[in-house]
Structures are given as C-alpha cells and as structure tokens.
C-alpha cells in the first residue's frame, strides 16, 4: 500500500491547513499517477483524524483508503469515527497512528506504563470490533505509534496561548523548555491530549525504551505495552 502525507491538514510546516482543497486535489493527482505506475497496490492518505471528509470526497476520489492518525482516548475511537467515514466517504479506513505516552506527571513509571498498555489494548479492541463482518465493518487495522522512544522530538516551547492560559503550571517548567536537548529524555509535554495526565509527551510513545541513556544507545527495554500487544496479536 502507498500512503500519502502525514497529518498535512494540521498545517505544521505547510499551508495545507489554510488551503485543504488544494492539498487534497494534489493528493488525488498523486494517487492517479501511482495507480498508473503501480496498479497492484491501493493508495491511502494519512489524514488528521476525520478532518475535511467532505473535501476529500470532492477533491480526492482516487484515494482508495482513508488513513487517519487518531488519538481519542483510552476507550478507543468510538463507533462514530468509523460511521463518519462510512457515511461520508464509503471507503475502508486504516488508523495510521494510535498510541499513548509511557510518562505522566505525578504518576510513577509503573502507573504510566500500565496506562499505556491498557490504552493500546483498548484501541486495538475497538479496531477489531469494526473490521469486516463486525460493527461498522470498514476498519482494515491500525499502526501502533510507536516502537521506540524518540529522544530528539521535544524541540520547541509551548504556544504562547497555552503559556498564558496555564501560567502557574508553566512557570516552573519554562527553563526546561528553553534547554531541550536531543540527548535528553525530556519530561515536558508538547500539547494537550486524552492521556493519563491530559498531556502528550512526544518523546515517550515507544513500547520499547532506551533505558536511562547511560548505557548502550542500542539498548532496547520492553515495556508492559510490548508484551500486552504481542499477546493480543499472537491470539493469546
């Protein structure tokens, strides 16, 4: 399968958020070209949740599969997610990202990692509930985000709006945001989300960690989520 883009319509580093019609038209042209060059594989689009389904229907009819990065919480995606895609696009859907961080402020590592394992298992259960012959019946599966932590990823301060709205919470953390380093496993959030403490920690989404960074950079330490998903996918 070919997958085009990655959350482009959020407008990070591009203007697709301001001009979604132009973006989806471009994606449709790419899909048509791919169909000509490689007719054996379907073409998907990695969308941001269900943003602009109406525009996708109008501007990108040659997209075969709706891919969507979806973070809706520990309960899963909700029947409405699959139903919206069915009613507005009538195409199969692949969740191209789902996951949860293994860190949360004011929780122990054991608590945060247990939450991550539960979150991922529940999300997968919801996907299975809407595969062919079940539920809405249009889910193809999902891509777990992610295999290993990305220590480099926290690379910027919070938006000024959030700094102002949460000034008391932000004040003691401001110095940390000013000194983010790719070699540190940073524990400051990048944005809010439906997670254990209400924040998303982009450096902590791995089901595998690299430990405390004092040993080999090739260290791979399995978290409970790894074992939980392994058992699920092996039918145990």
Residues 183, 189, 191: CA angle, nearest 5 degrees: 130
Give the residue, 168 or 135, on which the prediction is more confident: 135
Q: pLDDT tens-digit profile of 18-62?
A: 999 999 999 999 999 999 999 999 999 999 999 999 999 999 999
Ramachandran quadrant class, 161 (left: phi over 0; alpha: psi -120 to 50; beta: rest)? alpha
- Looking at residue 180, its pLDDT comes to 87
Q: How far is CA 216 from CA 82, 180, 209, 210, 219, in A?
A: 43, 21, 12, 8, 5
Are 3 and 46 a contacting pair, CB within 8 Å? yes
**Omega of the bond leading into 227 within 30 degrees of 0 (cis):** no
Confidence class of residue 145 from pLDDT cuts 50, 70 and 90?
very high
Q: Please check the confidence at residue 129 and state whether its pLDDT lies above 90.
A: yes
pLDDT of residue 195: 98
- At 91-106, the pLDDT tens digits run 999 999 999 999 999 9
């Amino acid at each position: 399968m070919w997958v085009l883009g990655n959350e482009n319509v959020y407008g990070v580093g591009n203007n697709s958020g301001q001009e979604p019609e132009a973006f989806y038209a471009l994606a449709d042209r790419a899909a048509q070209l791919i169909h000509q060059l490689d007719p054996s594989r379907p073409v998907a689009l990695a969308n941001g949740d269900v943003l602009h389904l109406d525009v996708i229907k109008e501007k990108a009819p040659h997209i075969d599969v709706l891919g969507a990065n979806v973070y809706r919480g520990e309960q899963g995606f909700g029947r409405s997610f699959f139903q919206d895609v069915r009613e507005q696009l009538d195409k199969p859907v692949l969740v191209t990202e789902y996951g949860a961080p293994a860190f949360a402020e004011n929780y122990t590592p054991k608590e945060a990692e247990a939450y991550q394992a539960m979150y991922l298992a529940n999300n997968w259960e919801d996907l299975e509930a809407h595969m062919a012959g079940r539920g809405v019946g249009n889910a193809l599966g999902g891509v777990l985000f992610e295999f290993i932590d990305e220590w480099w990823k926290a690379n910027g301060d919070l938006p000024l709006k959030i700094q102002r709205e949460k000034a008391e919470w932000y004040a003691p953390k401001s110095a940390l945001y000013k000194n983010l380093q790719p070699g540190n496993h940073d524990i400051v959030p990048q944005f809010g989300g439906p997670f254990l403490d209400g924040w998303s920690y982009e450096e902590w989404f791995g089901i595998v960690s690299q430990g405390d960074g004092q040993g080999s950079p090739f260290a791979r330490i399995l978290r409970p989520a790894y074992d939980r998903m392994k058992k699920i996918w092996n039918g145990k």
